């Protein structure tokens, strides 16, 4: 990736990220409406600075399929906001004392540290719920189905459960891949599929988006593991080294850092190659960007 391309994708991600922030602000309940504490906690966690990767990928997939997102309150906007809300719900519950017991997230105190555990459990539940309301607002039954499948026991929650169960014991490379594919990969894959489905994509192009999503979803989590070993806490906005302290199953933990770096690069390349038959797309630049990310 040349530095000009890096600049372009950085600009794209920044602009679209700001657009996602506006959507989130629009579709979250106002903090001054009852129940005030709950709405305040939800807004605190969702509106904390984030990469907004899942909604941006949904939008990029939508554009890749020639979807037209002009105007306010378009189906793709509901899906984008819903994706970030479920992502935040998963972070809030994952940070709870009974789960990963984290104090810091996106550079600020975790939801339960700031508002207490009961409020954090309910804030997560409420965001989980709003996401499905937003999926219903797309008008597509399939949108709710895709999201529910990505989040369920064969997807994200199944991955989180396997992650908890794997703590403190030796795991194989295949097992880590299986955890990561579900825990992180399923929702990223879903983001790409939703973008395509809302644009009215055909099956063949949907299969391309799905494959791209699977490859970069897994790559994203492998790089997350690498950053947890080598990253800068300030830039990441969360504590580093927490995976190994928790005895978590990590990809570099089973294959080593150098092999992990190599494998993530291969995954990125495979994701990019999957797109080839339909020509160029910002999705390629995003994939390369993920491969080089430092936060």
Taking CB under 8 A as the criterion, the residue among 118, 256, 259, 295 binding a copy of itself is 118
Q: How many residues bind a copy of itself (CB under 8 A)?
A: 47
Q: Are 264 and 223 in contact (CB under 8 A)?
A: yes
CA gyration radius, the chain: 18
Neighbours of 11 (CB within 10 A): 10
CA distance 203 to 198: 13
Nearer to a copy of itself, 29 or 237 (CB): 29
270 binds a copy of itself (CB under 8 A): no
133 binds a copy of itself (CB under 8 A): yes
Q: What is the DSSP letter of 97?
A: T
Site string for a copy of itself, 145-164 (x = CB under 8 A): x-xxx-xxx---xx-xxx-x
30 binds a copy of itself (CB under 8 A): no
Taking CB under 8 A as the criterion, the residue among 68, 165, 232, 276 binding a copy of itself is 165
Residue with tokens 């790409």: 192
245 binds a copy of itself (CB under 8 A): no
Site string for a copy of itself, 81-100 (x = CB under 8 A): ------------x--x-xx-
Q: How far is the CB of 292 from a copy of itself (least distance, A)?
A: 33
181 binds a copy of itself (CB under 8 A): no
CA distance 163 to 176: 9
CA distance 143 to 247: 36
Q: How far is the CB of 236 from a copy of itself (least distance, A)?
A: 23
Report the interhelical angle of 3-27 vs 75-95 (nearest 10°): 90
């Amino acid at each position: 990736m040349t530095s000009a391309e890096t600049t372009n994708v950085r600009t794209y991600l920044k602009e679209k990220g700001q657009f996602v922030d506006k959507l989130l602000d629009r579709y979250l309940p106002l903090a001054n409406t009852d129940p005030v504490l709950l709405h305040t906690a939800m807004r605190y966690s969702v509106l904390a600075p984030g990469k907004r990767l899942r909604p941006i990928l949904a939008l990029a997939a939508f554009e890749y399929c020639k979807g037209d997102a002009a105007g306010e309150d378009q189906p793709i906007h509901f899906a984008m906001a819903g994706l970030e809300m479920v992502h935040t719900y998963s972070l809030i519950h994952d940070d709870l004392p009974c789960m990963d017991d984290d104090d810091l997230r996106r550079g600020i105190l975790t939801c339960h540290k700031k508002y207490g555990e009961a409020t954090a459990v309910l804030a997560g539940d409420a965001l989980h719920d709003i996401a499905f309301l937003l999926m219903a607002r797309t008008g597509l039954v399939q949108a709710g189905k895709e999201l529910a499948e990505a989040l369920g026991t064969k997807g994200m929650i199944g991955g989180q459960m396997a992650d908890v169960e794997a703590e403190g014991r030796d795991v194989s490379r295949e097992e880590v891949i299986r955890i990561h594919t579900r825990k992180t990969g399923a929702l990223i894959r879903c983001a790409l599929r939703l973008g395509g489905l809302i644009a009215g994509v055909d099956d063949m192009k949907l299969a391309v988006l799905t494959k791209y999503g699977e490859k970069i979803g897994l790559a994203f989590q492998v790089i997350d593991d690498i950053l947890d070993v080598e990253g800068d806490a300030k830039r990441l906005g969360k504590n580093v080294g927490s995976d190994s302290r928790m005895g978590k199953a990590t990809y570099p933990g089973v294959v080593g850092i150098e092999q992990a770096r190599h494998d993530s690069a291969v995954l990125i390349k495979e994701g990019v190659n999957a797109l080839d038959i339909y020509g160029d797309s910002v999705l390629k630049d995003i994939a390369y960007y993920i491969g080089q990310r430092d936060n």
